[in-house]
Structure 1
C-alpha cells in the first residue's frame, strides 16, 4: 500500500524532480515563477537520462460551496505533455 501511495504522489503531485524559484516553497505566490522556464525545460529535455519532462504550475486557492469552504492546491498541467 505504501509503494502505491508513493507512486501516486510522484506521478500526480511532485514528479521525480522539481525546479522552481528559491522562494516558491516558502510562499506559493504566483510571482515566484521561473523567468526562463521554457528555455530551462528545453535544456532538461536534452539530458540523456531524462525520459520525460513537462511544465506544471501550482497555486493555492479557496473552494467554496453553499455549506462551507476549504483551502485547495491547484495543479496546472498540459495533459498532452504528461
Structure 2
C-alpha cells in the first residue's frame, strides 16, 4: 500500500481572494514580513498497491477529472 499526495493550487494568473484576505489580515495580527499568500487544496490518496508509473498515471487522471479544475488550477503529485 502506498500513499500519494495531490496538491492543487490556483494558476498564478488567477486571482486568489482568500489568499489576499489572509495577507491583509496578517499585519493586524502582528505577523510582519509576509507579502503574499496563495491558498490551495491537499488530497491524500491511499493506493491498494505500489505507487508505480501506472498507478501515478491513474492518480493524474483522477486529479484532472475530479480533484482539480484544469482551467484555473494546477496540481502536483508526490509519493509519501
TM class by smaller structure:
under 0.3
User: Larger RCO: Structure 1 or Structure 2 (Cα < 8 Å, ≥ 6 residues apart)?
Assistant: 2
Q: TM-score, normalised by structure 1?
A: 0.26
TM-score (norm 2): 0.27
The structure that is strand-richer by fraction is 2
